[in-house]
Amino acid sequence: MDSDSQRPERSSSDSSGNGTSSDGAGSERASDDVWHTGDANQGSREGHEKRSGSAPQPQGNGRAGEQQGGGPAPPERITVSVKAGENGPTASAARPQQKTYKDRTWLHLLLFLLTVASTVYVGGMFAGRVEVYEAQGYSYMLWDGIMYSFALLGALTVHEFGHYFAARHHRINTSLPYYIPLPVLPIGTLGAVIRIREPIPSERKLFDIGVAGPLAGFVVALAAILYGFVTLPPPEYLLDLAGHDALKEHIRTFGTFPDTMPESEGGEVIVLGETLLFWILSQFFDHVPPMYELYHYPVLYAGWLGLFFTALNLLPVGQLDGGHILYALFGETWHRRLARGFVLLLLLSGSIGFLQSARPELYGISEWLGDATYFVLAGILFVYLYKTFNGDHRYIATSMLAVLAGAHAAVWLGEPYTHFGYSGWLVWTALIVFFVRVEHPPVRYREPITPRRRLLGYISIAIFFLCFSFRPIYLV
């Protein structure tokens, strides 16, 4: 990721009286941002992440003119310098020079081509129609990979350029997307990021840039998954896979997919979480594969990933797209409350998954370590909650007790409560609390959101619930 972004220099004085406080205290502001799409297994945020810093400024008084839409326009900043002269001190004023940036187009193009190659490779490998490839040529494997890559990168690219063009529309300096290839995962990429190179001064601009990416990417991902459903082959399609003997026998006998997952002959199996939108769409089509075989269908798999990446970016925390939307719709106080509540929900899911998966592993290392599972989990939760509640031990203690008690109760009760456990959320929560941050920094100019924008915000929230899964990708 390019690191040439810099915050604008502060002026010693400005026309609106906006400046640093005398004690040097400051809080974060939406600037030096990184917008991204990503996946649930990456070691970065992946979702979508932005960073920010610098002091909040008071609301504009409107003397510098009105923005389009009626809000106050940010006043122009000037730098005032005072010099001693023969007739006493003299003052001069000048506008600060803005740093110019030049996109390294060759780097963006190289990363894009590498990501195309990695996703084509992963798509062909996971389609896995070995018997077809051996009988009719590996050009079929290449075609499977191309279809997967085109659908997935189409959704990611449109998402990023949604942010890009919205920022350009508002004259906010931003970079082209940086794609992140990774051919060793079952996805082929860690997504893409763009860098916002200057502060976003107003709430409306922040909302517009934040909401444009998920809405644009959702449309492409939805088109991909609908194409995948419309072109679904019959169950006999899976007869070309290597292995899968029990599944093949059931298909040959009954011509349908089995109701329950057959025993795996070759180790663990990747299972995708069924989202609400996927379930609704699946009711209108025949031959819908089970979630443990979905990755053998390149376009359908890419469409599912595109929708889930959209949900990840719409997580209602910090400076993810969902955090921006929540902040603009409901304000700082409710954003903080809802973001903290959602983090606690992720920690509960992660704790349930941790007790299910990590506890047996710890017992395998040593019995005393297995007995100390809850102490290990409590230590992890304390670190996360300390960052979430800014060191306020009243909230830390009560939240930790609630999460530990809830996780223990879910494991003790078993299904269906343990179905919501997913230890991967502990990794994602670490990315949120340490990099994305839970709370949203204040913007310099507060503006009322127009009814049309508010409608788009509510649509985005609905998309999040339709595309989110507590257990997105897991092994059985």
Q: What is the DSSP string of 140-206?
A: HHHHHHHHHHHHHHHHHHHHHHHHHHHHHHTT--BPPPEEEE-TTSSSSEEEEEEEE-S---BHHHH
pLDDT value of position 254:
92
Q: Whole-prediction pTM value?
A: 0.79
463 shares a domain with 424:
no
Sign of the Cα torsion 317, 276, 162, 461 reads negative
**Quick one: 267 and 410 in the same domain?**
no
Q: Kindly list the distances between the CA atom of residue 149 and the CA atoms of 67, 100, 423, in Å, as whole numbers in the listed order.
A: 41, 34, 28
- What does the angle CA 449 – CA 203 – CA 216 come to, to the nearest 5 degrees? 80
Burial of 94 by CB count in 10 Å (0-12 exposed, 13-18 middle, 19+ buried)?
exposed
Domain that holds residue 368: 332-440
Helix (H, G, I), strand (E, B) or coil at 363: helix
Is residue 424, in this structure, part of any structural domain at all? Answer: yes
Would you state the pLDDT for residue 308?
93
Q: Domain check: are 244 and 289 in the same one?
A: yes
Joined together, the tokens standing for residue 23 give: 């004690």
pLDDT at 98: 59
- State the pLDDT at residue 313: 94
pLDDT at 364: 80
Would 72 be classed as within a structural domain? no
The pLDDT score that the predictor gives to residue 447 is 84
User: Is 61 inside a domain boundary?
Assistant: no
Which pLDDT does position 387 carry in this prediction? Answer: 94
* Stretch (H or E) spanning 131: helix 130-136
Count structural domains, the chain: 2
Q: Is residue 15 part of a domain?
A: no
Domain match, 459 and 369 both: no
Residues 262 and 146 in one domain: yes
pLDDT tens digits in sequence order for the chain, 476 residues long:
333 333 333 333 333 333 333 333 333 334 444 555 554 333 333 333 343 333 344 444 333 344 444 444 445 555 555 565 555 555 555 555 556 677 789 999 999 999 999 999 999 999 989 989 989 999 999 999 999 999 999 999 999 999 999 999 999 999 999 999 998 878 999 899 898 888 888 889 999 999 999 999 999 999 999 999 999 999 999 999 888 888 999 999 999 999 888 887 667 788 999 999 999 999 999 999 999 999 999 999 999 999 999 999 999 999 899 999 999 999 889 999 999 999 999 999 999 999 998 888 888 888 888 888 899 999 999 999 999 999 998 899 999 999 999 999 999 999 889 999 999 999 999 999 999 899 988 888 888 889 999 999 999 999 999 999 999 998 88
| pLDDT for the residue numbered 355 | 92
- Whether 295 is in a domain gets the answer yes
Beta bridge partners of 34: 195
For residues 270 and 130, state if they share a domain: yes
307 & 426 share domain: no
> Within this chain, do residues 150 and 240 fall inside the same structural domain, yes or no?
yes
Question: Residue 378's closest CA among 436, 426, 316, 334?
Answer: 426
Same domain, 466 and 401: no
Same domain, 145 and 237: yes
425 and 403 Cβ atoms separated by less than 8 Å:
no
